[in-house]
Amino acid sequence: MRAILPGMSEVEWRTSRDPVPYPEAVAEMERRAAAIRAGDATEMVWLLEHRALYTAGTGADERDLLLPDFLPVYRTGRGGKLTYHGPGQRVAYVMLDLQRRGGDLRRFVRDLEEWIIRALARLGVRGERRAGRVGIWVAQPGGGDAKIAAIGVRVRRWVSYHGISINVAPDLTHYRGIVPCGIAEHGVTSLAVEGAAADMAALDAALRATFDEVFGFSVVAAKAETRD
Annotated active-site positions, please? 181
How many C-beta atoms surround the C-beta of residue 225 within 10 A? 13
Tell me the residue ranges of DSSP E strands in the chain: 11-16, 43-48, 53-56, 73-75, 82-85, 89-95, 128-130, 133-139, 145-156, 159-167, 187-188, 219-225
Distance CA(22)–CA(56), nearest Å, equals 12
Q: Which residues pair with 200 in a beta bridge?
A: none
Is residue 160 a contact partner of residue 93, using CB atoms and an 8 Å limit?
A: no
130 burial (CB, 10 Å; 0-12 / 13-18 / 19+) is: middle
133 burial (CB, 10 Å; 0-12 / 13-18 / 19+) is: middle
Q: How many residues does the chain have?
A: 228
Q: Which residues pair with 124 in a beta bridge?
A: none
